[in-house]
């Protein structure tokens, strides 16, 4: 009788209008600037601990077997994935209530803490990333919501950011539910879902390298069920280098951090990180070759930062002469940027906080941002992943952009002498995109 009732419930739940869950009423943002932005409904899935509120029409407390009976009719794909998982094949299967709860009126979406009940070591390893600061998976959500430019973003961009930054608040970014197969997470595609595109060109870097070329040709033939241990794979993937032996702490080898800030590689911390990174390379390559790799990487970084600092000096001279158009006093401020209201100043380069001001900037500052962030990052990522041709390509782009910016500097100086300072209109001042987001943010 109980099973028949569950089948009836399943059919009723498929009726249009059924709600599985929802955001709390009048939800507010999180982070340092919480009052300045409001979450999209998708935030319920991206930050479940903060935003998930069950809205279930079904009442009752159910066993795992009863959950499976009902959801075989409702969501057969989910049940199929679970049955193929290790959760289903252990001597004592991990059933639905272990992760979601058994009271249908209080169902939850799992968080890392939920997974940590059974996987405490892995969750603790990820949390350990926080001691290394940014960038890290564990601080990804905090990094987003604490930024002034995040809170002032158009809603569509805000939603796009958290699709990846939610890696800090849920485990299914890497381990797709409900199978949670480690073999999936070991393949590069698991990482490249987020680590791709101009801000994170790891996909381009990996597939441009000898490692990536071999993976593309042979990867489908390898047994991805093997642990991430030495000798188990012909070439390394993202997880092998950054999560050796399955360690979920991936911030302990980043000598140059993200490549967008100049780092002294000879500090005590970086000496330790360098030994760790060298040890991974030496799994497959002779130690002297691994050492040569670091020499080439250091040389590339020094060359890149010379190019960047040359352009920074040009822009800072423009600022000193009052020729950045429009000036900081003429720009719309982030609602929460009280300091800029009192002391408006154009920020140029990483150490002045340009990363937090790449929207309300002049055109030439945006050009430098793209040179510093996109071109520079591509040059670094290519060399760091053994893709020297990619690194060379982005150095050519650094040179081309530097030349273009220098030409714009001269044009601005000539216009300034003729009082023609308004000749360059930044995108945020006018345009269809700007008007739409002014009304819909």
Question: pLDDT tens string for the chain (441 positions)?
Answer: 454 454 544 444 444 433 445 677 788 889 998 988 888 888 899 999 999 988 777 889 999 999 999 999 999 999 999 999 999 999 999 999 999 999 999 999 999 999 999 999 999 999 999 998 888 999 999 999 998 888 877 777 888 888 899 999 999 999 989 999 999 999 999 999 999 988 889 999 999 999 999 999 999 999 999 998 888 999 999 999 999 888 999 988 888 887 888 888 888 988 999 999 999 999 999 999 999 999 999 999 999 999 999 999 999 999 999 998 888 888 877 778 888 888 888 989 888 887 766 777 888 998 999 999 999 999 999 999 999 999 999 999 999 999 999 999 999 888 876 554 444 555 555 666 566 666 665
Nearest-10 crossing angle of helices 363-370, 287-320: 170
Whole-angstrom Cα distance, residue 133 to residue 209? 28
- Quickly tell me which residue has 């930050």 as its tokens: 47
pTM (whole model) above 0.85: yes
């Amino acid at each position: 009788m109980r099973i028949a009732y569950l089948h009836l419930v399943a059919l009723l739940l498929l009726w249009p209008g059924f709600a599985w869950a929802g955001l709390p009423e009048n939800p507010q943002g999180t982070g340092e600037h919480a009052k300045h932005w409001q979450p999209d409904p998708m935030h319920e899935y991206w930050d479940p601990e903060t935003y998930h509120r069950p809205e279930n029409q079904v009442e009752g407390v159910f066993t795992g077997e009863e959950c499976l009976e009902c959801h075989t009719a409702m969501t057969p794909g989910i049940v199929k994935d679970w049955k193929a998982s290790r959760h289903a094949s252990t001597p004592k299967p991990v059933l639905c209530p272990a992760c979601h709860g058994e009271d249908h009126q209080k169902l939850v979406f799992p968080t890392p803490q939920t997974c940590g009940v059974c996987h405490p070591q892995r969750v603790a390893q990820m949390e350990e990333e926080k001691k290394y600061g940014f960038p890290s998976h564990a601080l990804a959500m905090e990094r987003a919501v604490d930024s002034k430019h995040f809170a002032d973003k158009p809603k569509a961009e805000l939603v796009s950011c958290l699709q990846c930054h939610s890696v800090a608040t849920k485990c299914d970014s890497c381990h797709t539910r409900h199978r949670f197969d480690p073999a999936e997470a070991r393949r590069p595609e698991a990482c490249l879902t987020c680590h791709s595109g101009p801000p994170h060109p790891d996909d381009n870097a990996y597939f441009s390298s000898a490692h990536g070329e071999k993976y593309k040709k042979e990867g489908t033939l390898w047994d991805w069920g093997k642990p991430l241990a030495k000798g188990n794979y012909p070439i390394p993937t993202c997880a092998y280098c950054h999560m050796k032996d399955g360690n979920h702490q991936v911030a302990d080898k980043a000598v140059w951090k993200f490549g967008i800030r100049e780092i002294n590689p000879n500090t005590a911390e970086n000496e330790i990180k360098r030994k760790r990174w060298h040890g991974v390379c030496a799994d497959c390559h002779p130690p002297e070759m691994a050492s040569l790799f670091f020499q080439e990487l250091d040389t590339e970084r020094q060359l890149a930062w010379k190019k960047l600092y040359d352009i920074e000096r040009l822009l800072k001279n423009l600022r000193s002469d009052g020729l950045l158009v429009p000036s900081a006093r003429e720009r719309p401020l982030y609602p929460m940027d009280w300091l800029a209201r009192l002391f408006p100043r154009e920020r140029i380069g990483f150490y002045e906080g340009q990363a937090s001001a790449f929207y309300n900037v002049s055109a030439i500052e945006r050009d430098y941002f793209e040179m510093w962030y996109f071109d520079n990052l591509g040059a670094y990522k290519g060399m760091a992943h053994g893709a020297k041709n990619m690194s060379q390509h982005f150095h050519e782009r650094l040179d081309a952009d530097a030349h273009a910016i220098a030409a714009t500097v001269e044009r601005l100086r000539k216009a300034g002498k003729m009082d023609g300072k308004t000749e360059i209109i930044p995108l945020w001042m006018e345009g269809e995109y700007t008007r739409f987001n002014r009304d819909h943010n």
